[in-house]
Amino acid sequence: MESIKIEKTRKTPDVIFNAETGVIQIEGKSIPENSIEFYKPLVDWLDEYGKNPKEKTEVNIKLEYFNTSSSKCILDVFKKLETIHKENENVIINWHYEEDDEDMLEAGEDYQSILKIPFNMIEMEE
């Protein structure tokens, strides 16, 4: 299975979905013109990955900002991860946020309340 690597732009995050290590990372800003188009390959990749996941899947989310349409797509990504977690209980999400960024902390807490996956809230120093 191929890994996914997408270089960040002014409007899209840096994305690494590593099939070899089971490490998934989304970092930067997520305000793409078309969020569904940007996130669909990631959701599709998780469908494939879920058929034969690594023993441990670690998800690192380090977003500075995301728009409303991205938030729905990020939830779709998390729901795929939740399905993988239900089957082998080895998915963990590390939600990184800057120490004074209440909005990003709240966004992580909102996702945490919706999903049945272990979430680590990790405060980053600026």
pLDDT in tens, 39-81: 999 999 999 999 999 999 999 999 999 999 999 999 999 999 9
Residue 119's pLDDT band (cuts 50, 70, 90): very high
Provide the 3-class DSSP secondary structure of residue 124: strand
What mean pLDDT comes out for the span 13-22? 97
> What pLDDT is recorded for position 89?
78
Question: What percent of the chain shows pLDDT beyond 90?
Answer: 96
Question: Tokens 């998915």 label which residue?
Answer: 91
**CATH number of the domain encompassing residue 78:** 3.30.750.24
State which residues form the domain around 103. Answer: 4-124
Chain centroid to Cα 91, Å, comes to 11
Helices (H), 3-99: 35-49, 68-88
Q: What is the pTM of this model?
A: 0.94
Question: Tokens 């209440």 label which residue?
Answer: 102
State how far the Cα of 103 lies from the Cα of 38, in Å rounded to an integer.
23
> What pLDDT is recorded for position 125?
81
Mean pLDDT, the chain, rounded, equals 96
**Radius of gyration over every alpha carbon of the chain, rounded to an integer in angstroms:** 14
Q: How many domains does the chain have?
A: 1
The 10s digit of each residue's pLDDT in 24-41 is 999 999 999 999 999 999
